[in-house]
Amino acid sequence: MTTPANFPGEPDSSPKIAREFGLSNEEWERVLSTLSRTPSYAELGVISVMWSEHCSYKSSRLHLGRLPTTGPQVVQGPGENAGAVDIGDGFCAVFKMESHNHPSYIEPYQGAATGVGGILRDVFTMGARPVASLNSLRFGRPDHPKTPHLLKGVVAGIGGYGNCIGVPTVGGEVQFDASYDGNILVNAFTVGIAKTDDLFFGVAEGVGNAILYVGAKTGRDGIHGATMASAEFGEETDSKLPTVQVGDPFMEKLLLEACLEIFATDCLSGVQDMGAAGLTSSSVEMADRAGNGIELDLDAIPRRTKALSPYEMLLSESQERMLMVAKEGREQEVFDICAKWDLDASIVGRVTDTGRFVCKATPEYDPFDGTGKPDPVVVVDLPVDLLTNAAPKYDRPQTPRPDRPSLVTMAGQTPEDLGAELLQLIGSPNIGSRSWIWRQYDHIVRDGTVIGPGEGDAAVVRVFCEDEDGTKEKFIAISADCNGRHVELDPFVGAAMAVAECTRNIVCVGAKPLGLTDCLNFGNPEVPEQMWRFAQAIDGLAAACTALNAPVVSGNVSLYNETDGNAILPTPTVAVVGQLEDPEHRLGLGFVREGDIIVHLGRPSRGVLGGSEWLVQQTGKVVGASVGIDLEAEAALQHAMIELAKSKLLRSAHDVSDGGLGICLAESCIALGLGAKITLPADDDAPPHALLFSEEPSRIIVSLSASHAGELGELCDRYGVPFQKIGTVTGATLDIEGVCAVPVEELAERHAKALDAIVS
Amino acid sequence: MLRAPMRVAVVQFPGSNADWDALHTVRDIVGADAWYAFHKSTTLGDADAVVIPGGFSYGDYLRAGAIAGFSPIVASIREFASRGGPILGICNGFQVLTEMGLLPGALARNAHLRFECRDVHLRVENEGPFTDMGQGTVLRLPIAHADGRYHTTESGLAELEEHGQVAFRYCTQHGELPAGSDANPNGSVGDIAGVYNRDKNVLGMMPHPERASEAILGNEDGLTLFDSLRRHLGLS
């Protein structure tokens, strides 16, 4: 075997270059001993990117195994481009969430746009037509000088991509907290619909089969993006601009339509999009899943710039590109459909039985302008296994966070004017209306948005399932949630709360949760306290997913979210997909009819204010005792809620979360402009402000006709769920007995202007 | 005697993305025979009416709707228009029709420079094949666009008025004009939301009737346009 050669001008690999590429000294030594030779420059690039945290999950793999991933409804669990759950009649919902944090901080528009592009590709690569997107965003404190620029850029980028490709962005969440000042989070979620029997997988099957490259040409953008995403930010961050990719949603729209048309001909044996680590990871992962090898002819790679080296082609993260493996002799069908959609397609390699990742290229030949003659030499020759299963896997040390001084009694004195407190809170950036954001997203394209942004606890989307028997309409519910403050106070509890809130949002619109995807955003795993947070959060997710029957079917880990040693709040964002049996079961969050009674479901507050938005605004810190969660009670509440929706007893449902019960009631009033007269429920003698603003989980506020009160009571008793009538829908004021009385119009006005201070 | 259902071609440019919305509404809700006419085709089929749907044809590169005017299908659209066939251009379809010169004026970037998706109110200003619901009727329809600010010269505006070509104006929910900054979502001149050509067989509009034609979507106001078209054609 010849030793793979460097290209002209490329330096010999060295420990110094390895370090620049993000490898540790131990990892460099491991490369040398495994290969028994020094890798070529291109090989070192390939190894370093495949061994990066982003691609190898080297710090997290060990822990991810503890997540529940199975269930009768699971069609595809983790390990593919996206996960899938059964939605009946031979159809499935295909979904995933992914982070694009680091690029979005450097260049918010393109970073966020390509995050959307990437997750859309993950979904349609599986053979699913994307039907809806969500996003979960975190920015620094509202008055940080960079926040307006980052918020505007990210929102415009998400809209710019999603609006153009024509997939509705139907919901999401956003939080502002000082911990994200230097490291924002952009997590993008997409769900698509496919026939279960027609799902496609990222496998390079069939030795000798042609590998086709379809889509945009390769440039120098995004080289080493995955490595960048695996490091902390420091002072030199601004110089990382060239590692950000640039998106072209029009190209992706063509790619989407061409791919779905190609898939329908059944001429492919495998397909994978080129995401992080581009050509390298897509070909290596496909070879790995099939237990095969791949040989690439880099001279054949479509390109849009001169003098691309093998290193650059292998590591480029140019967007809107797919790798396909055609069945024997069926390449022409791919070419024909690509021609219809004006897309480039070329054969760039073959599937082999060697188990090796081999790349050839000609040093003095440039296909871009035709100079020189092709006479390829081997530039990469590595065992596939070295880049996948044999990549480093660490059990990093963990240290529990030291106990903080007791702040259990943070409740303190009750403020004099609780009405003013409520107005202040409803008009603050973390609680108020997000309409400035979602109005910039086309949330209605495809005629499926039944419950859109701001209308319910989750979005409800009608999807059209077409097969030989005609078209069936199905209704899915989606939500994305996490509150890093509660995770910070107790990572196990906070992570479980994220799952509980997300599934609770699904049941509040009348749907049953089917599966979950996660996006685990944490700090530096080499810091034992951060690693502990991660491991604890995994256990919290696992416990809640099991208790609430939401298996994890896909996900993503984003570590090193810190700048100059300051880590973000641990943020294990989750998104859940559920299904409504019947669209008539759907529920919005707003009070609908004068005279309806308002009922509190779940155990009333004990007045624990830890981690609440109100307390953060009072103290400027994330402090207090964790609110805790009882997963059995949560499960009972959710089961009861599903039954209540099915029985059509209710007219609205809204869960208590950020801002507490006071905000929950205010939002239900604001939605349709109706007031309410309320008596605060309590099972303790906590002060009224604590009862009003505590963010204890496992509570839902519903409204219904008084004539259904008896049936509701019987149903709640059957499920062992505490319930209590707390008031009536009436008038134009939110009147909480002995606490405050605020006109709904005033609440609505403050709510609507919540983001004005940042964006205008 | 049962009348034949109307036949509607929905034009598909590369980057059209509300093509499904139009096809679904016209076929599944209105009950027409409907099909896609791909931009590389040179025929619209045996259509009674044509919809040019929303989206980002050719990525809206250069200018919204500009490149679509050079597609092979365009000759048959022109021919259909010249025969007096009813054409409805929605959102990007409106932009395409102005770029093709089938409708007067142009659509510029929204005054506030952002993409905007929300419900707006429209007042029917003049009757035509798509607007027989009566002058002054107020409709609530959604918009979803970044380039919807209708613009034309002062003399162009006078001509539109003279020939009764203004189909819709943005208005308050009570039908009042001028719409004012909040009700006019993009800064369109004269609050104009939709215009007819001189012969009134071609209508372009920024709001989306095809996304507001079903109870389950919370709005059926859009159906009035398709019902009007059906009556105009004398078909079921």
The percentage of chain A sitting over the pLDDT mark of 70, rounded to a whole number, equals 96
For residue range A316-371, list pLDDT tens digits in order.
999 999 999 999 999 999 999 999 999 999 999 999 999 999 999 999 899 999 88
Which of the four pLDDT bands, split at 50, 70 and 90, describes residue A277?
A: confident
CA distance B127 to B166: 9
Spatial CA neighbour of A389 closest among A56, A39, A83: A56
User: What are the tens digits of pLDDT across the range B128-169?
Assistant: 999 999 999 999 999 999 999 999 999 999 999 999 999 999
pLDDT value of position A237: 57
- Is pLDDT above 70 for A226? no
From chain B, which residues contact A within 8 Å (Cβ)?
14-15, 17-18, 20-21, 24-25, 28, 40, 54-56, 58-61, 114-118, 142, 144, 146, 208, 210-211, 214, 216-218
> Tens of pLDDT along A714-726?
999 999 999 999 9
The whole-angstrom separation of Cα A45 and Cα A21 is: 7
Q: Tell me the chain A residues in contact with residue B208 when contact means C-beta distances shorter than 8 Å.
A: 444
DSSP line for A637-658: HHHHHHHHHHTT-EEEEEE--T
**What's the pLDDT at A236?**
57
Our answer to whether residue B162 is catalytic in this structure is no
> What count of other Cβ atoms lies within 10 Å of the Cβ of residue A455?
21
**Which range (A118-122, A307-311, B56-60) has the least confidence?**
B56-60
Q: What is the pLDDT of residue A386?
A: 96
Residue A234 has pLDDT above 70, yes or no: no
Q: Please answer yes or no on whether B115 and A442 come within 8 Å at the CB atom.
A: yes
Residue A615 clears pLDDT 80, i.e. is over it: yes
Write the CB contacts of A32 (distance below 8 Å, at least 6 apart in sequence): A38
Query: In the predicted model, what is the mean pLDDT of residues A472-479?
Result: 98
Distances (CA, A) of A456 to A138, A174, A586, A666, B10: 21, 16, 9, 14, 33
Q: State residue A240's pLDDT score.
A: 55
The SS3 assignment for A682 reads coil
Predicted confidence (pLDDT) at residue A409 exceeds the cutoff of 80: no
Instruction: Decide if pLDDT at A69 tops 70.
Output: yes
- The nearest CA of chain A is from the CA of B216 a distance in Å of 6
H helix count then E strand count, chain A: 26, 28
CA-CA distances (angstroms) from residue A175 to A184, A415, A478, A530, A573? 10, 25, 19, 21, 12
> Quick check: A429 and A755 in contact, CB under 8 A?
yes
Asked whether the beta carbons of residue A439 and residue B14 sit closer than 8 angstroms, the reply is no
| A98-112, A516-530, B54-68, B78-92: segment of lowest average pLDDT | B54-68
Tell me the pLDDT band of A242, cut-offs 50, 70 and 90: low
Instruction: Look at residue A408 and tell me whether its pLDDT is greater than 70.
Output: no
The mean pLDDT of A265-269, rounded to a whole number, is 94
pLDDT, tens digit, 9 for 90 and up, residues B196-208: 999 999 999 999 9
Nearest-CA neighbor of A472 among A581, A560, A333?
A: A581
Kindly state the average pLDDT of the residues A203-211. Answer: 93
Task: For residue A455, give the chain B residue with the closest CA.
Answer: B218
Q: Which residues, 6+ apart, have CB-to-CB distance to A574 below 8 Å?
A: A97, A480, A481, A482, A498, A499, A502, A516, A517, A518, A519, A541
Kindly list the residues from chain B whose CB atom is less than 8 angstroms away from the CB atom of residue A450.
216-218
pLDDT of A148 over the 90 cut: yes
Q: Is the ipTM of this complex over 0.95?
A: yes
**How far is residue A632 CA from its own chain's centroid?**
26
pLDDT at B1: 43
Asked whether the beta carbons of residue A447 and residue B59 sit closer than 8 angstroms, the reply is: no
**A444–B144 CB contact, under 8 Å:** yes
> With an 8 Å Cβ cutoff, are A250 and B214 in contact?
no
Question: A172 vs A97, A169, A316, A486, B31, CA distance in Å?
Answer: 12, 8, 30, 19, 35
As a whole number, mean pLDDT of residues A129-142 equals 98
- Average pLDDT of chain A is 94
Six-digit token string for A528: 């034992």
pLDDT band at A293 (very low <50, low <70, confident <90, very high): very high
pLDDT at A244: 72
Active-site annotation holder among A63, A100, A443, A689: A100
Task: Respond yes or no: is residue A144 known to be catalytic.
Answer: no
Identify the pLDDT of residue A243. Answer: 64
For residue A71, what pLDDT is reported? 97
Q: Given this model, what pLDDT does residue B58 score?
A: 86
Provide the percentage of residues in chain A whose pLDDT is more than 90.
Answer: 89
Please give the average per-residue pLDDT across B194-220, as a whole number: 98
Nearest to residue A424, comparing CAs of A623, A693, A610, A175? A693
Q: Answer yes or no: are the C-beta atoms of A38 and A4 closer than 8 Å.
A: no
DSSP 8-state secondary structure symbol assigned to residue B58: G
Strands (E), chain B: 7-12, 33-38, 49-52, 87-90, 106-108, 116-124, 138-145, 149-151, 166-171, 192-196, 202-205
- Per-residue pLDDT at A539 exceeds 90: yes
Q: Does A560 have pLDDT greater than 50? A: yes
Q: What are phi and psi of A168, to 5 degrees?
A: -70, 135
A276 band by pLDDT with thresholds 50, 70 and 90: confident
Residue A106: Cβ within 10 Å count:
18
| From B25, B40, B115, residue closest to A447, measured CB to CB | B25
**Nearest CA distance, B19 vs chain A (angstrom):** 8
Of A511-525, A570-584, B50-64, the least confident: B50-64
The closest alpha carbon to A172, from A149, A139, A141, A204, belongs to: A139
User: Which of B38, B51, B115, B145 is the best residue to mutate to test the A interface, defined by the most A CB atoms within 10 Å of its own CB?
Assistant: B115
User: Would you state the structure tokens that stand for residue B195, as one six-digit string?
Assistant: 């215009």
- Residues A547, A552: Cα–Cα separation, whole Å: 13
Catalytic residue among B91, B121, B125, B232: B91
Q: What is the DSSP letter of B28?
A: I
- Is the pLDDT confidence value at A207 over 60? yes
B56 and A447 in contact by Cβ < 8 A? no
Which of B18, B28, B218 comes nearest A445 by C-beta?
B18
- Does the annotation count B208 as an active-site position? yes
Going by pLDDT thresholds of 50, 70 and 90, the confidence category of residue B70 is confident
| β-pairing verdict for A321-326 and A210-215 | antiparallel
Q: Which two tokens stand for residue A573?
A: 């964002």
What's the rounded Cα separation, in Å, for the pair A725 and A480?
29
